[in-house]
Copies of this chain bind each other. A is one copy, B any other.
């Protein structure tokens, strides 16, 4: 049963200044100040009630430009092959992306957002409120593996074409 395919329908589309993978920030931390919008399809607009009172939201989206899936990849910030589940690369078995962005304001079905690392035209699957009590773990407990010496490079690293078609 669990091997069955699961189907979702996009609830909207993400608009950003990044038209191609090359040069796009690889995480929201690198897209600081970059503004974009989320066009939620009007049929879902009622679901946006109360959202604007959250300063940050989690966008869950489909990496629509990722066509190949690899179990091991060379991430943007590394030159070694890493297990894809230990990376945030888009070339995953299920190309689902997730970014925490700032929510600036809502106008009807349009959300104005900031700190963006998402390519223009990306299909949106879900929006969740970002709640530190739910989503954050105390720093003392962290180990971040191969990213330990690299995570701080995230703000200066841009994507290239390796995961794009």
Contact = CB atoms under 8 A, between A and B. Distances in A.
A60 B8 contact: no
A127 B89 CA distance: 11
A98 B53 CA distance: 21
Interface residues of A, number: 76
A83 interface: yes
A88 B12 CA distance: 18
Given A44-B71, A144-B131, A2 B8 contact: no
A107 interface: no
Contact of A96 (B5, B49, B125, B133): B125
Contact of A8 (B8, B100, B147): B8
Nearest to A81: B49
A49 B55 CA distance: 35
8 contacts: A6-B62, A6-B125, A28-B134, A29-B133, A50-B86, A53-B143, A96-B126, A131-B151
Interface of A: 2-13, 27-29, 40-41, 44, 46-58, 60, 62, 71-72, 81-88, 92-94, 96, 98, 100, 102, 121, 123, 125-137, 139, 141-147, 151-152, 154
The 6 A-B pairs at the shortest CB distance, nearest first, are namely A49-B83, A53-B145, A50-B86, A47-B71, A133-B151, A8-B94
